[in-house]
Structure 1
Amino acid sequence: MEAQHLHAKHGTEEEWSTGFCDCFSDCKNCCITCWCPCITFGQVADIVDQGTTSCGTAGALYALLSALTGCGCIYSCFYRQKMRAQYNLRGSDCGDCLKHFFCEVCALTQQYRELKNRGFDMTLGWAANAERQQNQGVAMGAPVFQGGMTR
């Protein structure tokens, strides 16, 4: 019975909207993340925490941890895990840590693209996104579908 439960849970997980190594599909964000990952991390954390942690606070904490320990990736890894749980994305805790440890830029840019593809304007932050989507009648985090039915 336990094996069936695990299989059913795994079967409901969604794929990420972009690949892990698709960093260059958004060159602007890739460059920003490469030179200053605290910016991208702050934007991701603000959305994932639904505004309870501001972009500036999360980014500053990331920069401080990186400067003091060289391991800001440990902090960002937890946000990847939290994001996977929120959106039921495929992956594992161990895989998250390895991705952030060995390729922080790819991990952060993938998270950024995922949120962007779910309808978030990453430059606005949580509060402005929530207001914008409420005014449009869109559920927060709903996947954005391009195109539509045609006759």
Structure 2
Amino acid sequence: MDRESPPLLLRVVRSQPGQVVEEEQWSTGLCECYGDMGDCCFALWCLPVFACKTSRAAGGCVCLPLLDCVGCVPPASLAMRAAVRERYGIKGNVFSDCFYGWCCYPLSWCQISREIKKRTAALSKKQSSSPFSLKSKTRNTPLLYLDHVHII
């Protein structure tokens, strides 16, 4: 007798246990520079260097923001904003990324920087409070610790 076996059902795990990935909004608004005045002033006085620092913190090429002077839509701002949005599950689309990159260029880079800082700080706090974290003499620091860090 030839019986057909039921189809094999596979369950795909998209995140590690304990990690919750939700679709959210940006943690700060576009014009909320008052929360991080150091970066706001840094972006105001030297935006190209600030954009390069933020690009590096996001895991992109340091020189990527230098391409923003090519064309009418800044490609690096668009790419970084979309990458950060995708990484953290923030609602939005390429049209909003393009709009903010074109109309609110410095504010967009400041918002990206604040988002990376907040998410990195939350992740390091979560990891340090984890019951599985190793209690040793060495101090666990996140890979991208950006509070009060400036290149200059």
Q: Same fold (TM over 0.5)?
A: yes
Tell me the residue number matched to 2:42.
32
Give identity over the alignment, percent: 27
Q: 2-side partners of 1:135 and 1:39: how far apart?
A: 30
Question: Are the structure 2 counterparts of residues 72 and 94 from structure 1 closer, same or farther at C-alpha, using a change threshold of 3 Å?
Answer: closer
Matches of 1:31 and 1:65, distance apart in 2? 20
Q: Which has the larger radius of gyration?
A: 2
Is the CA contact 2:26–2:115 (under 8 Å) kept in the aligned structure 1? yes
Provide the alpha-carbon RMSD of the alignment. 2.8
Ranges in structure 2 where 5+ consecutive residues have no aligned partner: 1-21, 122-137, 145-152
Aligned residue pairs, count: 108
Query: Do the aligned partners of residues 40 and 72 (structure 1) sit closer, same or farther apart at CA in structure 2, a change above 3 Å counting?
Result: farther
Partners of 2:113 and 2:26 in 1: CA distance: 11
Among 23, 26, 32, the alignment partner of 1:16 is 26
Residue 107 (structure 1) aligns with: 108
Q: TM-score, normalised by structure 2?
A: 0.59
Higher relative contact order (CA 8 A, sep 6+): 1
Q: Secondary structure at the match of 2:34?
A: helix
Q: TM-score, normalised by structure 1?
A: 0.59
Q: Give the whole-Å Cα distance in 1 for the aligned partners of 2:39 and 2:25.
A: 21
Question: Cα offset for 1:91?
Answer: 1.5
CA distance in 1, matches of 2:117, 2:31: 16
What's the counterpart of residue 117 of structure 1?
118
Deviation readout 1:48-70 (Å, 9 max, x if unpaired): 22xx62x3x33xxx33642xx47
* Structure richer in helix, relative to its length: 1
Query: Does structure 1 residue 136 correspond to structure 2 residue 136?
Result: no
